Structure 1
């Protein structure tokens, strides 16, 4: 199982099996702050086992370039994981269905400026892959005891290209 994976735009429909797209599309759910701020309410389903709590961390990832060699995927069985860029730069999101405890054929998405994502608990995904900008992200995920990281290394890497 190897080959070249073409990047597609990130849409809520295409990404739904793996998580949620976090953005400000459409009208806000509510206007606040004297009508000068739109609140897009409760956009992510945070899902943690009872042994953990929600935490907010900052990640600073090195910029990557295309074509990108996908060697590793990971998943977090004990909690969902949201990535919110702290710049208006898009980034690469790679996911795969589970096939008997291992990642299947990956899919690659490019976020639009201002989009973030929330991976469902247990979703196979690539590592944080900014393609431009600062590489600074706010990450909301499970903090707590337990084995919450599984990694899978491919014998032959996939090539991700635009």
Structure 2
């Protein structure tokens, strides 16, 4: 599976691309700051939105993909705390299992929000530091489903 550049249109079935494309919605802070307002569809069942920090080890390419996961109770936003892109792997739902995976690489300054129930790979920085702010559901109950492939995939650049 080859990695493609992340675009809002290509990622739309799986979630929201968070970036500063286009003009800001509002200029604030004495005209020194552009606000790009309400860029993600945060969607939580019972529970609340929480902000956590994740520190992930960088991965090397080619990357074996043996498992995907999803969160049926809430969306999940990954906001890198560095100027590096990262790998995003998603798949459409195919009768309760992940369908054919797709791989995207974000550009520096881009973040993503997975829609609730979207099959995705694990957090995959390609460079250190792998530090991310994550906004997701905090609440009681199991919000994780995993699927292990019988035959895995390999993710790489062209």
Q: TM-score, normalised by structure 2?
A: 0.98
Query: Counterpart of 1:21 in 2: which secondary structure?
Result: strand
- 1:78 aligns to what SS in structure 2? coil
Task: Find the aligned partners of 1:96 and 1:86 in 2 and give their Cα distance.
Answer: 25
State the Cα deviation string for residues 120-139 of structure 1 (Å, max 9, x = none). Answer: 00000000000013100000
Hey, what's the Cα distance between the residues in 2 that align with 1:88 and 1:156? 34
- Residue 147 of structure 1, CA deviation: 1.4
Gaps of 5+ in 1: none
In structure 2, how many angstroms separate the alpha carbons of the residues matched to 1:118 and 1:72? 19
Equivalent in the alignment of 2:11: 15
Pairwise CA distance, 1:110 = 0.2
Question: What number of residue pairs does the alignment pair up?
Answer: 157
Contact 2:49 2:138 in 1 (8 A): yes
Query: Equivalent of 1:67, from 38, 58, 62?
Result: 62
- Give 1:76's match in structure 2, choosing from 71, 76, 92: 71
Q: CA deviation at 1:114?
A: 0.3
Given the two structures, how large is their TM-score scaled by the length of structure 1?
A: 0.96
Partners of 1:101 and 1:87 in 2: CA distance:
34
- Deviation string 1:51-109 (CA, Å, 9 cap, x unpaired) is 21000000000000100000110000000000000001000000000001000110000
1:110 matched to 2:112? The reply is no
Structure 1 stretches of at least 4 aligned residues deviating more than 3 Å after TM superposition: none
Q: Where does residue 36 of structure 1 map in the other structure?
A: 32
